[in-house]
A and B are shown apart, each in its own frame.
Chain A
Amino acid sequence: QSALTQPASVSGSPGQSITISCTGTSSDVGGYNYVFWYQQHPGKAPKLMIYDVNNRPSGVSNRFSGSKSANTASLTISGLQAEDEADYYCSSYTSSNSHVFGGGTKLTVL
């Protein structure tokens, strides 16, 4: 199972919005509404930010939103804040009953 494709880095200024893409195939992202997004700060464990494409767990800011079109999912962060600077990983359930992660995107808040 190949890793999902994410941009290596994105950046934005405080208050702006950014979008991170995550491209897979019809066997993972495109085949199921089982796309997830995780935030990871340096030296910390990942934190679930979005599940099932566009759902936020309790406690996650509504500045975070997810969407999907065909084989590409997206994470949008609006009203960018300094604390959002982190690595972001998408993940998908797959047709082989496994999980696959994206390569990760480093978000820099300028």
Chain B
Amino acid sequence: QVQLVQSGSELKKPGASVRVSCKASGFTLTSYAMNWVRQAPGQGLEWMGWINTNTGNPTYAQGFTGRFVFSLDTSVSTAYLQISSLEAEDTAVYFCTRAAYGSHWFDYWGQGTLVTVSS
């Protein structure tokens, strides 16, 4: 069955970096675009951008350029989100979610990864 399994919660200090992984199974990764969505505590969903799983080309939403990097390792069917120079405002749950090429809806989601930034 289709699954997106994300890495576990992270506690980081301000200024550090974090990498969140999203392992896909039950489907061919390269048939779907991988998107990332952020949800701050008690807040709504915010689209961060997506990565083309065929070319590895990332596209970042406004507000997610510079410190955020999407990457892939297709050999292990895994997408990654790296955030550098962490700030307290980066504290959130980060979701990976897929969309079939040619469609725009997110049909399967990872379980979410809580990243907490605190000194």
Contacts and interface: CB of A to CB of B under 8 A. Distances in A.
Q: Do A and B bind each other?
A: yes
Interface stretch (A44-52, A69-77, A78-86): A44-52
B104 A34 contact: yes
Interface residues of A, number: 24
Contacts of B59: 97
B107 A48 contact: yes
Interface string B97-116: 10000011111011110000
B44 A36 contact: no
A99 B107 contact: no
B61 to A, nearest CB: 6
B59 to A, nearest CB: 8
Contacts of A104: 44-45
Interface in B77-119: 95, 97, 103-107, 109-112
A64 interface: no
A44 to B, nearest CB: 8
A24 interface: no
B106 A93 contact: no
